[in-house]
């Protein structure tokens, strides 16, 4: 975006240089060798690019040693060193159902072994711990999600396609995205997002959208700003249904750093997630279709006694069709509607029972 002003500056400098040359009685074909060529006068422009390049290299040198490669029995992903005790944060879909892993760090030539501490698929986050902490292990610094702004330069670091210590560059394209995964690799119609190697089925709010390339193996790595802070964990890459599900270039999503630290701190300190901060109705459900086989709501299968839906009088067999102002057609749209809400918040739920629609006020519980 700065190219056009830079070109205008060059043209102005060149024109000014020519005026000076003419005033001194010289021309392009003259013998006067005292006049400075325009190229010399414009030498400051490449210096700005060099400064930015130096900043990139400084950030990469500082952060890349904190990004590791994680090898499960059949899957490969990335992780970020969380502390000096050997805790590593990654995606839940990277660890899957396994308990033991091989981890390659920047300071070790041979893979180390690591053990699962806890996996939290609802947020697609997990923490593993190195069985032996190597010398020189460096923890990453995590940034403030509230300070992330559209247009900031970002670097994605990880092991795409098994190529360890790889870096791609882009910008923050958007913030506050709600994105849904599923095990088939497809996201919701709202997001059309898919992780390049599968997902946990989670619906994740407040994700950071980036144009930095996210490929299989980047999952669990680091999305970094130019201050050398991790602002997110790359998790999803968008797929385009119109292209047969192939990757949509330049559309990737990262779990925001604030959510990562909230979940990781609970796992490390308490062994599990005790406070998700995520709202829930306290039901299990399934998508139902209408006579035209189109999604038409969420049928309530079970209701947790004493939870939000139970207190509001919602019962198994009811079909939820609206939450607040959001129309509910699928189990994914229900999860997306609740994703930005907080436990204790009040909302309305419209459901049908025996062909009759009813609307009730619900005080949301916690996921």
Per-residue pLDDT, averaged over 316-332, amounts to: 93
Same domain, 151 and 246: yes
Rounded Cα gap, residues 283 and 305, in angstroms = 9
Q: Does the pLDDT at position 79 exceed 60? A: yes
Supply the CATH number for residue 76's domain.
Answer: 2.40.10.10
* Residue 255 structure tokens: 């779990």
Question: What is the per-residue DSSP string for 215-232?
Answer: -TT-TTSEEE-TTS-EEE
CATH number of the structural domain spanning residue 349: 2.30.42.10
Helices (H) and strands (E) in the chain, counts: 7, 21
243 lies in some domain: yes
Domain co-membership, 219 together with 307? no
Q: Is the pLDDT of residue 232 over 80?
A: yes
Tell me the pLDDT band of 107, cut-offs 50, 70 and 90: confident
Indicate the number of domains in the chain. 4
d(CA 95, CA 121): 10
- Say yes or no: 113 and 154 in one domain: no
Predicted confidence (pLDDT) per residue in 249-296, tens digit: 899 999 999 999 999 999 999 999 988 888 899 999 999 999 888 999
State the residue range of the domain holding 327: 279-366
Residue spans of beta strands (DSSP E) within 145-291: 153-158, 166-180, 193-194, 203-210, 222-224, 230-240, 246-256, 279-280, 283-289
Which of the following is catalytic: 219, 239, 333, 337? 219
The answer to whether the CB of 78 falls within 8 A of the CB of 217 is yes
Indicate if 87 belongs to the active site: no
> Between 36 and 343, where is the model more confident?
343
Whether residue 47 is contained in a domain is answered as yes
Mean pLDDT calculated for residue range 217-235: 95
| Phi-psi label, residue 315: left if phi above 0, alpha if psi -120 to 50, beta otherwise | beta
Mean of pLDDT over the chain: 82
Q: Do 106 and 156 belong to one domain? A: no
Residue percentage of the chain with pLDDT more than 70: 80
HSE-CB of 95 using CA atoms within 13 angstroms:
26
Which residue, 49, 64, 79, sits at the end of a domain? Answer: 64
Say which of 66, 78, 119, 124 is annotated catalytic.
Answer: 124
**Identified catalytic residue from 93, 192, 196, 307:** 93
């Amino acid at each position: 975006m700065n190219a056009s002003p830079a070109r205008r500056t060059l043209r102005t400098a060149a024109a000014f240089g020519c005026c000076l040359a003419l005033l001194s009685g010289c021309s392009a074909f003259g013998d006067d060798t005292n006049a400075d060529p325009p190229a010399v006068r414009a030498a400051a422009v490449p210096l700005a690019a060099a400064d930015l390049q130096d900043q990139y290299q400084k950030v990469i040198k500082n952060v890349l040693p904190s990004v590791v490669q994680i090898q499960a029995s059949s899957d490969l992903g990335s992780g970020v060193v969380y502390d000096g005790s050997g805790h590593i944060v990654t995606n839940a879909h990277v660890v899957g159902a396994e308990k033991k892993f091989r981890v390659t760090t920047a300071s070790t030539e041979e893979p180390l072994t690591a053990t699962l501490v806890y996996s939290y698929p609802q947020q697609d986050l997990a923490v593993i711990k190195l069985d032996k902490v190597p010398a020189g292990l460096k923890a990453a610094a995590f940034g403030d999600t509230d300070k992330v702004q559209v247009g900031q330069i970002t670097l994605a670091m990880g092991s795409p396609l098994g190529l360890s210590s790889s870096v791609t560059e882009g910008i923050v394209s958007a913030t506050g995205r709600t994105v849904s995964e599923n095990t088939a690799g497809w996201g919701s119609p709202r997001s059309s997002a898919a992780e390049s190697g599968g997902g946990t089925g989670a619906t994740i709010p407040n994700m950071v959208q980036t144009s930095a390339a996210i490929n299989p193996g980047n999952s669990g790595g680091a999305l970094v700003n130019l201050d050398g802070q991790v602002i997110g964990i790359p998790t999803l890459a968008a797929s385009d249904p119109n292209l047969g599900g192939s990757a949509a270039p330049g559309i990737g999503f990262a779990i925001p750093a604030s959510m990562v630290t909230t979940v990781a701190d609970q796992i490390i300190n308490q062994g599990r997630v005790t406070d998700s901060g995520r709202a829930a109705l306290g039901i299990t459900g399934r998508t139902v279709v209408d006579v035209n086989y189109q999604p038409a709501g969420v049928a309530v299968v079970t209701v947790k006694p004493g939870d939000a839906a139970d207190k509001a009088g919602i019962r198994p067999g009811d079909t939820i069709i609206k939450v607040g102002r959001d129309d509910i057609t699928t189990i994914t749209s229900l999860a997306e509607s609740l994703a930005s809400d907080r436990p204790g918040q009040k909302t309305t739920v419209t459901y049908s029972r025996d062909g009759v629609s009813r609307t009730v006020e619900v005080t949301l519980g916690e996921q």
